[in-house]
Structure 1
């Protein structure tokens, strides 16, 4: 068994490479929302069609996450991650070459497949590379790349203000992943836990999906984990996709909209590592309660904000608690399943959460088209957060020994 120091040293390259992939994934996920208003003008799309354009990528995330997680338990985390990165890089580039609404839907769906397959492997690799006492922090350190990548997309939007410049963010989101693949091939090490688990499965057989998710006392944990993912990601992806358009509807400029989006994602990066670290330091129950109370307060602030500064502050706090909360849910999933089915369990949870990532933008688009205000939609999302919080507390309660705060030495 490695000493704590050895474990930290060996996990650093894995976490760093996963961080890079997460950053590129965050950039691509945010790119559709950032470029959305300019895409709508170029292709003369209605609000309902933009809801479908946002939702197409999210629809791809669902089967991508489920398939990517399952394949991770068969083929290995490294191989599936590399294939995923190639897929979302290629179809991010393909987005720049579309010429109609149908082509846009196809490109975003296939890009979503790759993005969805990547996340369960990133979570599994970081969970298995770190020591148990640092697992939450390791997953949070990786996941902070998502909002920082989205903030990078906002910077690209500020530097490319013209209507015809919306393709710039997709060029970065395409070439970046393809250039990262050789680094993964050369420097990313396969999970040692997976290698040992694969050898054991060769001797004793492989668990099916039903056994992985619903047997050996995992049924209740799987259910409440799914509920928490679904509620949280519905709200998160609603904001990720519609925040720029919502800010523009309040009379702010496109540059101010990009600044608000950048603040949302910078807050997310800080929250991802900070709140996950709190899980390791103060325990799960207090962390989960604090972060969901913070989400509700931040949503109320954003809904009532007037002016650039107030909206930017509301966006910062929403990012801090919503994105930070998502990193905690990913860490919880990494704890909830043993190594031999971790990819399947995490992938299924992420896939269910992706249902929310599709429903959030799509339902919001339909309601906005019917004349509902963006502020009303933000306030209406708070009950979903309450339900997600209750489910997350049940997960923490079931595995409380893993998260209990350690006494001072």
Structure 2
């Protein structure tokens, strides 16, 4: 009877149409997540006029949205390890689609805030599940680049939101942007038909026929059968509830807390820029279209940072690449606070995109790969959830700075602080205690033919 090492099959596989299908759906989901998240900052100048909001009130609404994302990451992201990542992704897409549409119909700021908060629950829960599935199914030789490329969907979505804002918002209004968020709901039936469930989810439930079917798609030449003896690297017991305490077991505690600080730093920078960049540039003397062009450049920089960073991660590892990006980011923000030349501003904004969202896009697979498969989604979702503290503080902190006598561009100086904090926290990640395919728990054997699926 043949023994099949499932993780090895995936790790040694060649990228094929199955991997492409998983990639495209993950890219699609992340793109609309990025689109939906970027809407607030892009529509903010006109929305403030429409609702008569002050800078402080606008910052507060942005923070309430990010509280929703934090709760979504905890509640829905962690639940993915219990009911399946495919179901969670479908639920999250439906939530943020429906309530983004309703936010665009809101007659007053209170209704808008409530609808936006509920939509944010879906946004927060989607990200960890997508990253975990993509990490799980990616061939090992280009895993970091594949996940980083997939995560560029977030920046593509933000760029599309910027382009629509630049060319259509003045004529169609800011509400039109939110109405477009309903598109993922229309494609949900096709997603449910085509997207595979996580292999580790099937493994924990001993669903042998489904495991064989997936492995035959991963490696069509394998000819895997239900009678094969599948060997797994994961723990023997099915996870019950949300195994958060496991994030601190096996000497993972220091690294777990370090990841929380790293992600908090990244998200503070990302959401501070997403929320206030157009308004900062308006304060510096640029018109609405010109100020939105900086958001467009920011998105391009995010993509460049993700792709270049992913390329180098596959060659020299996450730690070195992330250290360089955090350091470069801090220097970039200091320069932005004292630069007035427009071309140089565009260059620095692009670099800041690479060193904020681009960095976070590399941190996500780093965190996901650190934890063993059975708690991978929980590890990432809790880390991102805790990290939302940084994103929640960002709109309020930058909004407060904009009410002071400081020149608007000097607010960029505040972003250098979390960049330095992230760099220091990275030094405390203990990679030797993380999950690797060479150092695993005792393998689990079963014969799929003896188990009902």
State TM-score, norm by structure 2: 0.84
SS at match of 2:428: helix
For residue 132 of structure 1, the aligned residue among 127, 140, 145 is 140
Which of 290, 294, 303 is matched with 1:256 structurally?
290
CA distance in 2, matches of 1:385, 1:202: 36
The one-character-per-residue Cα deviations of 1:19-61 (angstroms, maximum 9, x if unpaired) are: 0111111111110000001000001111111001211211100
1:231 aligns with 2:239: no
8 Å contact from structure 2 (residues 284, 408) kept in 1: no
- Structure 1 residue 235, shift from structure 2 partner: 1.4
Looking at structure 2, the residues matched to 211 and 326 of structure 1 have their Cα atoms a distance apart, in angstroms, of 24
The structure-2 alpha-carbon separation of the partners of 1:156 and 1:186, relative to structure 1 and needing over 3 Å to count, comes to same
8 Å CA contact retained: 1:38, 1:163: no
Q: Deviations over 1:210-254 (max 9, x none)?
A: 432222222111110001111121111101110000000011111
Instruction: Please say if 1:304 is aligned against 2:338.
Output: yes
Q: Secondary structure, in 3 states, of the residue corresponding to 2:340?
A: coil
Query: 1:339 and 2:376 equivalent?
Result: no
Give the whole-Å Cα distance in 2 for the aligned partners of 1:17 and 1:33: 26
1: CA distance, partners of 2:10 / 2:67: 43
Q: State the aligned residue count.
A: 402
Aligned partner of 1:44 among 52, 59, 81: 52
* 1:277 alignment counterpart: 311
Partner of 1:381, secondary structure, is helix
Structure 2 partner of 1:325: 359
User: Do residues 118 (structure 1) and 151 (structure 2) align?
Assistant: no
Deviations 1:99-140 (A, max 9, x none): 111111101111110100000111111111113333322221
CA contact (8 A) 1:140 1:272 kept: yes
Alpha carbons of 1:215 and 1:402: their partners in 2 closer, same or farther (altered >3 Å)?
A: closer
Alignment partners' CA distance in 2, 1:31 and 1:397 = 37
Q: What is the distance in 2 between the residues matched to 1:319 and 1:250?
A: 19
Question: Does the 8 A contact of 2:148 with 2:361 survive in 1?
Answer: yes
- Map 1:60-99 onto structure 2 (within 5 A): 60-99=68-107
The residue that corresponds to 1:204 in the other structure is: 237
Match of 1:188 among 174, 195, 201: 195
| Secondary structure in structure 2 of the residue aligned to 1:243 | helix
Counting helix residues as a fraction of each chain, which structure ranks higher?
1
Pairwise CA distance, 1:366: 2.2
For residues 370-385 of structure 1, the aligned pairs below 5 Å read 370-385=404-419
Q: C-alpha separation between the residues in 2 aligned to 1:180 and 1:358?
A: 31
What whole-Å deviation, never above 9, does each CA across 1:7-27 have from its counterpart, x for those lacking one? 522322111110011111111
Which runs of 5 or more structure 1 residues have no equivalent in the other structure? 404-409
> In the aligned structure 2, how far is the partner of 1:236 from the partner of 1:396?
25
Is the counterpart of residue 168 in structure 1 residue 164 in structure 2? Answer: no
Check conservation: 1:194, 1:339, Cα contact below 8 A.
no
- What is aligned with 1:144? 152
Corresponding position: 1:351 with 2:385: yes
> In structure 1, how many angstroms separate the alpha carbons of the residues matched to 2:414 and 2:236?
52
Correspondences of 1:210-221 after superposition (within 5 Å) = 210-221=244-255
CA, structure 1 residues 205+25, in 2 after alignment: closer, same or farther (shift >3 Å)? closer
Output the aligned Cα RMSD. 2.2
For residues 307-362 of structure 1, give each alpha carbon's deviation from its aligned partner in whole angstroms, at most 9, with x where no partner exists: 43232222111112211100111011111111111111110001011111111111
Contact 1:259 1:312 in 2 (8 A): no
- CA drift of 1:164 comes to 5.6
Structure 1 length-normalised TM: 0.92
Q: What are structure 2's unaligned runs of at least 5 residues?
A: 1-5, 207-231, 438-453
Contact between 2:269 and 2:394, CA under 8 Å: does it hold in 1?
yes
Q: Is the 8 A contact 1:285 1:396 kept in 2?
A: no
